[in-house]
Chains A and B, each alone.
Chain A
Amino acid sequence: MIMFISKLFKISFIVVYVMKERFARAKALFEIIIIIVAIFSISLLNFKDVKAEEYGCCFLKSEGSCFDNTSKQECTEKGGEFFSSPDCSAYSKCQEGCCKIGTECSYVNKFKCEQTANDYNNLDFTFQEGTGESSCSLSCQEGIYGCCLDEGCKYTTSNSCSGEFYENKLCSDVGFCGCTKNSYNQCYEGDVYSFDSCGNKESLVKKCDYQKGLKCREEKNKVDCYSINCESTYKDENTKGTGVFRKNGESWCIYDSATGPGLDSVGSRHYRHICINGEEIEEPCEDYRNEFCVYADVTVNGETFREASCKINNYEKCMTECNSAYELIPMTYDDDDLYKGEVIDYANAMENDLKCCLSKNNDCYWLPLNTTKTEDMEKEQLKLNEVNGRCLPLVVPGNLGENSKICENGVNSALTVWSQDSVIDTNDCSSGCEAYSNKWLQLSNYLCNAAGDCGAKYNWKNEFNNDGFSRKWDSVIEDPEDDFGDFLDQYPELKNMPLTKITEALLLINKEKLAELNSGLYAGKINYEDINKNQGLDYNKINTGIFTGGFFDVSADTLGVLGTAGIAAAEVATLFTGADTTFGNILFGNIIQAGGTASESGGGWLGTLFSSGTIGTIVTVALVVFAVFTILNIFATTKESRVVSTECNMWNIPNNGDNCEDCGKVDNEYGKFKECSKYKCESLGTLCEFIEENAGTDRPACVKVESRDVSSPIISAWPENLTKGFKLNEETKGYKINPDVPAYTRLSLGIKTDKVAQCKFSENVDDNYNEMVSYFGEGYYETKHSLNILTEPNKKYNLYVRCKGKTSNANEASYLIRFNTKEGPDLTAPIIETSDPLDGSYIQADLTKILINIYTNEPTKCKYSSENEDYDGMKEETNCISRENKFICSFNVNLKFEDKLVNYYFKCSDNAENVNEDAYPLTLKQSDTLVIEDYSPKSGTLYSNSFTLNVATSGGAENGKAICSYNGIEFKETDNIIHSQEFEDLALGNYNYNIECIDVAGNKASQIINLNIIKDVYYPIITQLYRQDNTVHVVLDEDADCEYSRSDFGFGKGTETEKVVGEHLFIVEGGRYYFICNDSEGNINPAYSINV
């Protein structure tokens, strides 16, 4: 849209230029175009952004519940009170306090306390504000305890005893309770208590220190404090330090692979494990490594606990904004050295990148790329060297199959210089030639790996693929040994053509090394007192920083700064120590080195050109030749810049499906861990498909799918699933079950398919797969399918089964399962289960005909009559149809009410001619028309912008009880005969309210109210004035406050009148009285003079 608008502006300028001679006219035209463009642009603006949905706190008084971050619309629709702050704790109505109901305490707000008390049959309650949750629960334990005799003996507080109370006495001490002291032990709030034989808690036997991992439990009939620590935990092969003892409340990280800058494998995920009450629970961090797991050792009172957390991976800026310096690198060689000014610019930009990388808001890692200082380095180069580095994501983001653009951040390039030093020489690489080395290839691939699921790397099953990364260069290298002559000592591999692709053997960090880097992301040792006690470990403080001595060096115990504390797995540091001196050069050293090279040309030879003598002649000739040669050299020497760059693409998924079933395979005594996900599954192969319906179940979630395989699944019998006592005999395409099955039996059948498939069946041989409506089993995609059938008597079953794979066609020919049912004795009459409408229902007014459905449990014929007579005597008969395992019999009945009631009696007869003895009675009640009896305010002008819309209904099914709404929104008070809705502070203007009411029988009534709300600028007017004895009565045309006095006065200085039923009264003695009123809008009438 921006492009479009700018084009419009350009067009407008062109127009002005063409019409320059008619300047005034052109100017006017230009202005018109500007206006048109502006209007057009504004109309394209998305006003949704301008007027965004408002979110805040919603209070529902009816429930006493407060909901944070609710949309205003949702809140209003549900009849709640909306507050603009999303945090409800800011509002008094949501303030929590101690609610005591009986002997139970809870920490809730006052309205919820009332609501709960109502639920417990209106028990008495007390509510105390300003207490904390723990002091609230303690307060319930306070009070005078004793034995309460009230329908038994109960040990409780005096407040909750309504019978005879024995203060400070256990019930086992009260003789006539008959309770035996210390009859048994039981757990109570985590500790061991003794209980008497009447079930009353007596005394504390043993306190179980939860902090120390002890809790009361009953094991093998013994109640005691047992350890709730996790004595042993799941040992993960990819994470060091797992499988050990963990204390209750500890949490730790588990990873699918090594983790860190450039290390995470494709498809890998982080997990947080928790030990709580003796159980090990896994919480996966968000997939695609959108969250990563980081852990620390927290010391509390001398004891160390491991704590882990899944943290959001803020990687986006790491390789973009925090690597902006690299945009300044020139990609062409200038004959002059790089200007010092450019080096300074570059150093400054690099410094900014460093700050960006270390920012708290980013989860980045700063890779320092300092080289060894040399004496010939100039001041600017020294500065650059100090800050030289590259910003990488701390944890590689996952993007497989979703976002390939992210890999562009991992592209690397280098400027090399090729020069021809003499006429007899060829172009050789003279500077930056490391870019052709294997080392550069390795490190560039590492950079690519760090950007995302990019480059040549492994997936989480250690399958390697290198198609995602390659190197290329300008111009052709004809003779590597010659071209790289000066560098062969350092990079002997350059004798051969430089590699375009990297092999597994050449990887900077191969899988053996990765397997060693399995300590994860460790934030160091932290004292509990140093962290915010309410919030837990603040992982935002964890950041990356400049390391001393390498990558992952645990060298300091500074609070929360991951950078200086380092990341565990110090082995990686050794990878780079050998390359320290040239690391920076190899990757990005052009800038630092470029200034040092310069072409050299000889000088001062002209002076010796014209010396004399034979030798002199020979020398002269030689000199001349030399001179000519040198002159020629001057014109022959060239320098050209060539760029070496990489292509960094999304990691290539292996073209197979051999390992699909390995996804989500951890299932052991500790639990089911490392659940399969789409990301994990798809990283295993192009033929691996994730079945979303199977997520979280025991069914395979990642299956191999032959993408080009359209052959339908092969169905075979599953004899093990057949109900015991029966056998199946396989036939050509199906099987038969013998012997015959008794009637009304639940028979279990099964089939298997050679691939995951969904199966259906029908009793109609002609139905194709899409026409079949019944699933064989649950309808899931799996390889084993089980069906349960409730058999009917005397029936030959032919079940035609067809299946369909995920990508394949359904079976053309069906698989037939046959069996017969016995001639079972059916002695039971059919059961009429229910009807629609139900017995006692109200029928809409003025309905003369109705469809009545009767539901039975078996195939039947049914009749009805208005008399309770024998089945044979009943008149109307209908056959019932089967639908979803139910049998429905429908009757179209003419309604003939008598005294607003009509009775019908239904009886049914099944196929064995069993008939109902008792009829199913159905009484229907005729309702009256629902009417809106009255409403206010009436249509017209309203002088107040706050009012209550009231509607009264009558008639209908329940004497006017109905639910009313206005413009589709339910009244706040409704479901009754009076309906009301308050409106406050409405803007002035016209309002249309479409009132609709509906009752339980479906009777409707509606009314439209049109209101015009205008500001009330009129003062109250007397509409009626009369005297009764010595009291004057005044009636006004609107509601107002009034005063009177014996003399003229200003409002506020008189005596208030008495308001009684819409009249203003005041006592008089005779004479003149002045009377002034003030309405709600502040309109005050000029004083009325009343002569009495």
Chain B
Amino acid sequence: MGKRGQVTLFVILGIVIVVLVALFLIGRKTIFMPVTTESLEGEMESIKEAIISCGYDNSLNSPNSLLQAIGKQGGYLETPEGTYILYADNKISYLCYNIPDKESCSNRMLTLKNMEDQLNENVGYFMDSCLNEIKNTGNLKSYNIIVQDKPNYQFVIRPDSVVLNVNWLVTLKGKSKDISVSEDKFEVMFDYPLGNLYDVSQEVINGWDVFSGEAVSGNFDTLTYMLAKKGEYKLYLKKPYPDKVYTITKEGNEYIFQFAIQGENRFA
């Protein structure tokens, strides 16, 4: 064989090797790594982690950013005019409104259920899109991801954490074998003591209401409260006239809950 022929042969050989390697890389999971229940369970764990990372994402309307917002805005995601004070770049909701010519204020009755409902109503927009991406990741794998129905989201505010329950039936089904693994409940846990901080806020408001800010019996004093709790909670009180803004944190946790109490402008 002449030199030219040898070169041609080597070129063809090279091309064949490249193609074989490419085929191997593409098809190794289906050909050489058969699907098993254990492997599918492992993939399901990855999906769980992907859902958790959706939860922890910082994009607009992600669960994490909604929780941050609800804490900074005094328990409300919607802040219509007249219901908040703009302070330190946050629209901080009034949880107690001024009653003209009265020293006490009117409780707005924020409840934990209010907050849960607001979170549930707003989380779908982001989570649906994020979960949709998870659904699309099985394309080059040895299994199919089958999801049924629309996911349902349920926030539960506990004293020392917030849980997002994602009710979404996900089935991983092997492409080549009739093996499947399903999961219909996923949980994303946030280490935000929103329940505890909410309780503290209610103690502040109830104390404030009844005893009308006078230094007579029962006035809510931040220092007395913090000492009674041995510093477990820190209350920062600011007074942008004529209102009051409380920021509450729990020891060892950076999550904040802040709210405002509306005051009366003596000059108005």
Contact B217 A74 (CB under 8 A): no
Is A840 on the interface with B (CB-CB < 8 A)? yes
Contact A276 B223 (CB under 8 A): yes
Give 1 or 0 for each of A236-275: 1 = CB within 8 Å of chain B CB.
Answer: 0000000000001101000000000000000000000010
Question: Nearest CB to that of B124 among chain A residues?
Answer: A838
A279 and B236 CA atoms in complex are apart in Å by 11
Which residues in A have their C-beta under 8 angstroms from that of B226?
274, 276-277
Tell me whether A70 and B106 are in contact in the complex, defined as CB-CB below 8 angstroms, given that A677-B240, A695-B87 are known contacts. Answer: yes
A693 and B89 CA atoms in complex are apart in Å by 7
Smallest CB–CB gap between B91 and chain A, Å?
Answer: 11
Tell me whether A540 and B128 are in contact in the complex, defined as CB-CB below 8 angstroms, given that A78-B109, A276-B227, A696-B87 are known contacts. Answer: no
Contact B215 A539 (CB under 8 A): yes
Tell me whether A678 and B231 are in contact in the complex, defined as CB-CB below 8 angstroms, given that A70-B109, A276-B226, A918-B136 are known contacts. Answer: no
Which residues in A have their C-beta under 8 angstroms from that of B22?
none
Question: Nearest CB to that of B224 among chain A residues?
Answer: A536
Which residues in A have their C-beta under 8 angstroms from that of B156?
119
A116 and B238 CA atoms in complex are apart in Å by 32
Question: Nearest CB to that of A190 among chain B residues?
Answer: B230
Give 1 or 0 for each of A16-28: 1 = CB within 8 Å of chain B CB.
Answer: 0000000000000
Is B179 on the interface with A (CB-CB < 8 A)? no
Contact B239 A538 (CB under 8 A): no
Contact B240 A62 (CB under 8 A): no
Which residues in A have their C-beta under 8 angstroms from that of B150?
838-841
Which residues in A have their C-beta under 8 angstroms from that of B218?
534-535
Is B182 on the interface with A (CB-CB < 8 A)? no
Tell me whether A402 and B129 are in contact in the complex, defined as CB-CB below 8 angstroms, given that A283-B222, A695-B240 are known contacts. Answer: no
Contact A679 B241 (CB under 8 A): yes
Determine which of B108, B125, B231, B239 lies in contact with A284 in the assembled complex, contact meaning CB atoms within 8 Å. Answer: B239
Question: Nearest CB to that of A535 among chain B residues?
Answer: B217
How many B residues face the partner with a CB closer than 8 A?
61
Which residues in A have their C-beta under 8 angstroms from that of B109?
58, 60, 67, 70, 74-75, 78, 80
A69 and B205 CA atoms in complex are apart in Å by 9
Report the interface size class on chain A. Answer: 35 or more
A888 and B107 CA atoms in complex are apart in Å by 41
Tell me whether A71 and B238 are in contact in the complex, defined as CB-CB below 8 angstroms, given that A55-B99, A536-B221 are known contacts. Answer: no
Contact A287 B241 (CB under 8 A): yes
Contact B234 A277 (CB under 8 A): yes
Smallest CB–CB gap between A564 and chain B, Å?
Answer: 20
- In the complex, chain B residues 104-122 whose Cβ is within 8 Å of any chain A Cβ: 104-109, 111-113
Question: Nearest CB to that of A283 among chain B residues?
Answer: B237
Question: Nearest CB to that of A281 among chain B residues?
Answer: B236
A67 and B109 CA atoms in complex are apart in Å by 6
Give 1 or 0 for each of B82-93: 1 = CB within 8 Å of chain A CB.
Answer: 000011110000
Tell me whether A60 and B223 are in contact in the complex, defined as CB-CB below 8 angstroms, given that A286-B239, A696-B89, A838-B128 are known contacts. Answer: no
Smallest CB–CB gap between A703 and chain B, Å?
Answer: 17
Contact A279 B234 (CB under 8 A): yes
A1078 and B216 CA atoms in complex are apart in Å by 55
Q: Could you say which of A120, A311, A695, A841 has the most chain B C-beta atoms within 10 Å of its C-beta?
A: A695
Smallest CB–CB gap between A672 and chain B, Å?
Answer: 11
Give 1 or 0 for each of A679-720: 1 = CB within 8 Å of chain B CB.
Answer: 100000000000011011100000000000000000000000
Contact B241 A535 (CB under 8 A): no
A277 and B222 CA atoms in complex are apart in Å by 13
Q: List 17 A-B contacts (CB under 8 A).
A: A68-B206, A69-B104, A75-B109, A78-B109, A80-B109, A228-B231, A274-B226, A277-B234, A283-B236, A284-B239, A287-B239, A287-B241, A309-B221, A678-B241, A696-B245, A840-B150, A918-B136
Which residues of A are interface residues toward B (Cβ below 8 A)?
53, 55, 58, 60, 62-63, 65-71, 74-75, 78, 80, 86-88, 106, 116, 119-120, 189-190, 210, 215, 228, 248-249, 251, 274, 276-277, 279, 281, 283-288, 290, 309, 311-312, 399, 402-403, 532, 534-540, 675, 677-679, 692-693, 695-697, 778, 831-834, 838-841, 855, 917-918
* Known contacts A74-B108, A281-B236; 8 further A-B pairs (Cβ under 8 A): A62-B113, A106-B159, A277-B234, A281-B234, A286-B239, A536-B224, A537-B215, A696-B245
